[in-house]
Amino acid sequence: MAKIAINIATGSLQQNEVIVGIDLGTTNSLVAIIHPESKKLIAIKEHDSSSLVPSVIYFGNSNEVVVGEKAKEYLISNPAQTIFSAKRLMGKTYNDIRDGIKNFSYQIIDEDDKLVKVKVNNNFYSATELSSLILKELKKSAEHILKTPVNKAVITVPAYFNDAQRQATRDAGKLAGLDVLRIINEPTAASLAYGFGLSNEEEKIIAVYDLGGGTFDISILKIHNGIFEVLSTNGDTFLGGDDIDNGIVQYWLSKFKETANISQQQLRVLAEKAKKILSDTDNFMVEINGIILALSLPELETIIKPILNKTLECSKKALKDADLTIHQIDEIIMVGGSTRSPVIKKEVTDFFGKKVNDKVNPDEVVALGAAIQADILAGNTKDVLLLDITPLSLGLETAGGLMDVLLPRNTKIPARASRQYTTQKDGQSGIVISLYQGERDLVKDNRKLDEFILKGIPNMPAGFAKVDIAFLINADGILKVSAKELRSGVAQEILVKPQQNLSDEDVEKMLQDSIKNAKEDITIRALVEATTEAEQLLNTTEGFIQKNIHYLSQQELLSTSEALQALQLSLSMGDKNLIQLKMEELNAISKPYAERVMDLAVNSAMSGKKI
C-alpha cells in the first residue's frame, strides 16, 4: 500500500525539490516554505514588500490578466472587470450565493443550480479558473524569488469546505501547473505552525480563532498521535476587521459633524489606520482638510465590543457542537490580521480563561503550517506517522466521457465517499457504472478498473431517479462500490482492487501526464460540460414550447426559435464561451414567458381548489 511519502518511494522527488505551502485566502494569499538549504520556515516575499498577495484579478480590455497588488487598484476604477473574493464562489451554485449577490461588483451568471460562472468581457470563468490565476501568480513569483521551479504544493482550505469546494481547489492547483499533494484544513495548518501535532504526544484539544478582514471562523480540533480531527466549526462569512473600520467611520460621523465633508472612502482608510495604530498606542489623532479626527483606545474598545461578542457567540456554539466546555480547551490559536488588536486578544483570553497563542505572525501562520505539512510529505520530518493513502484518484464516468472523482488521490484510508446521480432518458431502466483510476479529466486517458450495471430501475421520467453511488475503500486497499436507486430500492455492488498490477512507475507517469495536460484537460472538461448543459437546455426549451405553444406570442416564438438555432450552431463550433453566451441569450428570452406560464398554471390550480 502506498504511503504519504510515496514520492520518495517512486523516486520522483529530486533532492532538495521544494514543496510549497499555499494559503489561498479570500482577501490575501501567500506562499511559505521550509528552505531546502537553511531549513528555515519562511513566508516568501520580495525584499521590503509584504508576503501577502491580494487575491484580486483584473481582466484588461484585451483580456490581459493582472493579479495581486496591481489588480487591487482597479477595484474602484473598473469594478466590473476586477474579481475579488473568488474563494467565496468555489464549489458554489448561483442559488447558494443568491442572497449575497449584491456584495459582488462583477457579473455572475444567474443559472440557479449550476456552478457559478463569472462573465467579464464576454468570457466566462469558473471559480476554479479564477483561483488558478491567483495560484499561477503565486507560483510564478515564488519561482522568481527562489530561483527554482515550483511544481508541488500543499494548499489550505477552511475546515468547513465540502468535497466540491476541495475538489475545485485541487483542480485550480492543477490548472496552475501545480501537483497538489494535499489539501489541508486552515486550522490544522495553524496548529502545525505552533508545533502542535508534530510528535505523538497525548491528546490535545485546540480552538483556532480566525478573525480576518471579512470573515470569522472558529474551529475546534482534537489532535491525537499526529492525527487532526475537526470536532466542530462555526463562524460568520461577513464579519471581520472591515466591520470595525465601518464602526469607527460611523462613530466619527456621529461625533464630529464636520466629517460629513470628507469622502467615505477617505474616512474608511483613516479608520483602518486608527485601528492599527491603536494596536500599539492609546490614542490616535489626525488632521484632514482642517478637521481633527481622534480616537482613544477605550472608544475603540466600545466599537469592537459588539463585533467581538458575535465571535464569542459563534465560539460558544462551536463548543456546544463539539460537546465540550471551555475548560476542556488546551490551547487557543490566533489567526487573521484582526487578532493583532490587543482588545481582541484580551477578550478571547478572558473568554477561554487561558492565554492565547499569538507568537506567530497571524497573517502567515496558515501558510507556514502548510509548508510544514509539505516538508512532512517530502519525507524530511521524521517521527511523523505515515498513513496509508490512495496513490491515484478513484471515480466514475459521467456524461460526455468525463471523470467524476469520488476519492481524490492522497485520501487517507479507510475512506468513504458517496454522490447522487440520476437518469438521462425517460424510462431508462439501467445505469452503466464504469470505474476508473487516474488524474485526467477524460476517462479515456485514465485506467479502467471495472464496470457494472444497476438494472431494474422502474419507469420514471429523465432526472427523476435518485441513484446513490458509494465508494468505500478499506484498510487493505479493497474498493467496494455500491449503487442504489433510492426511490425503488434496487441495488448492486462490486469489489475492485485498484492497486493490482499498478507499479510505482505507472503512478508516476499518470501524475506527470495530468500536470502536463492540465490546461487542455480542463478546457475539454469545460467544453464537454457546456455542451451537455446546452443540449439539456435545448431539450427542455423545445419540450416547453411544444407543451405551451398556445400561451406564447408570435414574437416570443420567433425569437426563441432564432435563439435555439444560434445555440445549436454554437455547439458545432466547439467554443465554450460562445455556447455560454448563446445559452444566456436563450435563457433571457425564455425566462419571462416561462415565469408567466408557471404563474398561470399555479393560478388555475388555485382557483380549482376549494379551500
* Rounded Cα distance, 135 and 150, in Å: 11
Q: How many CA atoms lie within 13 A of 503 on its CB side?
A: 4
Q: Which is nearer to ligand AMP, 68 or 213 (CB)?
A: 213
CB of 345 to ligand AMP, least distance (A): 10
Stretch near ligand AMP under the rule CB under 6 A, chosen from 221-229, 237-245, 320-328, 508-516: 237-245
In angstroms, the CA 103 to CA 86 distance is 12
Smallest distance, Å, CB 31 to ligand AMP? 15
State how far the Cα of 415 lies from the Cα of 472, in Å rounded to an integer: 6
Least gap, CB of 277 to ligand AMP (angstroms): 8
The three grid cell numbers given for residue 489, joined into one nine-digit string: 430500492
Q: Does 276 bind ligand AMP (CB under 6 A)?
A: yes
Give yes or no for residue 514 binding ligand AMP (CB under 6 A).
Answer: no
Least distance to ligand AMP, CB of residue 511, Å: 33
> From the CB of 308, what's the least distance to ligand AMP, in Å?
12
Dihedral in degrees, nearest 10, Cα atoms 16, 370, 83, 64: 0
Q: Which is nearer to ligand AMP, 22 or 524 (CB)?
A: 22
Q: Is 210 a catalytic residue?
A: yes
Please tell me whether residue 235 binds ligand AMP under the rule CB under 6 A. Answer: no
Active-site annotation holds for 87: yes
Q: Which of 21, 241, 477, 498 binds ligand AMP (CB under 6 A)?
A: 241
Give yes or no for residue 338 binding ligand AMP (CB under 6 A).
Answer: yes
**CA-to-CA distance for 168 and 70, rounded, in angstroms?**
26
Report CA-CA distances (Å) from 353 to 128, 332, 347.
41, 10, 10
Q: Which CB sits closer to ligand AMP, 93 or 246?
A: 246
336 lines the binding site for ligand AMP (CB under 6 A): yes
Selecting among 186, 242, 364, 529, the annotated active-site residue is: 186
Give backbone dihedrals phi and psi of 589, rounded to 5 degrees, phi first: -75, -40
Question: Under DSSP, is residue 179 helix (H, G, I), strand (E, B) or coil?
Answer: strand
C-beta closer to ligand AMP: residue 271 or 528: 271
Active-site residue (options: 45, 87, 139, 174): 87
- Is 582 an interacting residue with respect to ligand AMP (CB under 6 A)? no
* Identified binder of ligand AMP from the candidate list 50, 279, 532, 587, rule CB under 6 A: 279
Residue with cell 426559435: 561
Catalytic option among 129, 179, 210, 243: 210
Q: Is 16 exposed, middle or buried (0-12, 13-18, 19+ CB in 10 A)?
A: exposed
**Which CB sits closer to ligand AMP, 26 or 410?**
26
**Binding of ligand AMP by 55 (CB under 6 A):** no
Shortest Å distance, C-beta 341 to ligand AMP = 4
CA 273 to centroid of chain Cα atoms: 31
Residue 190 or 578: which CB sits closer to ligand AMP? Answer: 190
Cβ nearer to ligand AMP, comparing 362 with 438? 362
- Give the single-character DSSP code of 384: S
Q: How far is CA 610 from CA 237, 599, 601, 605, in A?
A: 45, 19, 16, 10
Considering only the stretches 253-261, 331-339, 417-425, 572-580, report the one whose residues sit in contact with ligand AMP under the rule CB under 6 A: 331-339
Q: How far is the CB of 311 from ligand AMP (least distance, A)?
A: 13
**For residue 297, how many C-alpha atoms fall within 13 Å in the half-sphere facing its CB?**
11
Q: Are 493 and 471 in contact (CB under 8 A)?
A: no
Q: Rg of the Cα trace of the chain?
A: 27
Q: In the set 275, 409, 576, 582, which binds ligand AMP (CB under 6 A)?
A: 275
- If one asks whether residue 136 binds ligand AMP (CB under 6 A), the answer comes out as no
471 near 479, Cβ under 8 Å? yes
Identify the helix (H) or strand (E) that includes residue 270. helix 264-277
Report the C-alpha gap between 377 and 46 in whole angstroms: 26
Question: Is 287 part of the annotated catalytic residue set?
Answer: no
Binding mask 255-274 toward ligand AMP (x if CB under 6 A, else -) reads -----------------x--
Spatial separation of the C-alpha atoms in residues 357 and 274, rounded to whole Å: 25
**# residues near ligand AMP by CB under 6 A:** 17
Residue 533 Cβ vs ligand AMP, minimum distance, rounded to whole Å: 35
> Among residues 173 and 337, whose Cβ is nearest to ligand AMP?
337
Query: E-assigned strands of 455-549?
Result: 467-473, 479-485, 491-496
Task: Give the one residue of 363, 397, 439, 441 binding ligand AMP; rule: CB under 6 A.
Answer: 363
| The amino acid at 555 | Q
Nearer to ligand AMP, 85 or 446 (CB): 85
Q: Which amino acid is at 429?
A: S
Secondary structure (DSSP) of 385-434:
---BB-SS-EEEEEGGGEEEEEE-TT-BSSEEEEEEE--SSTT---EEEE
**Residue 355 identity (one-letter amino acid):** K
Q: Measured from the CB of residue 212, what is the shortest distance to ligand AMP in angstroms?
A: 3
Cell of 55: 487575491
- The Cα-based distances of 541 to 49, 95, 549 in angstroms read 54, 21, 11
Q: How far is the CB of 362 from ligand AMP (least distance, A)?
A: 7
User: Phi and psi of 86, rounded to 5°?
Assistant: -60, -30
Nearest distance, CB of residue 237 and ligand AMP, angstroms = 13
Active site residue 186: yes
Which part of the chain contacts ligand AMP (CB under 6 A), choosing from 139-147, 330-338, 457-465, 579-587?
330-338
Q: Which residues are 252's β-sheet partners?
A: none
Nearer to ligand AMP, 82 or 215 (CB): 215
Cβ(434)–Cβ(397) below 8 Å: yes
Q: Which of residues 18-37 bind ligand AMP (CB under 6 A)?
A: 27-28
Task: Choose the stretch contacting ligand AMP; rule: CB under 6 A; options: 336-344, 384-392, 408-416, 580-588.
Answer: 336-344
Q: Which is nearer to ligand AMP, 29 or 165 (CB)?
A: 29
158, 177, 187, 213: which one contacts ligand AMP (CB under 6 A)? 213
Residue 391 binds to ligand AMP (criterion: CB under 6 A): no
Q: Please choose, out of 166-174, 260-268, 333-341, 421-429, the segment that lies near ligand AMP by the rule CB under 6 A.
A: 333-341
Q: Which three cell numbers stand for residue 607?
A: 382557483
- Give the CA distances from residue 488 to residues 216, 322, 485, 510, 584, in Å, rounded to whole numbers and listed in that order: 43, 37, 6, 39, 36
Query: What is the set of active-site residues?
Result: 23, 87, 186, 210
Interacting residues toward ligand AMP by CB under 6 A = 27-28, 212-213, 240-242, 272, 275-276, 279, 336-338, 340-341, 363
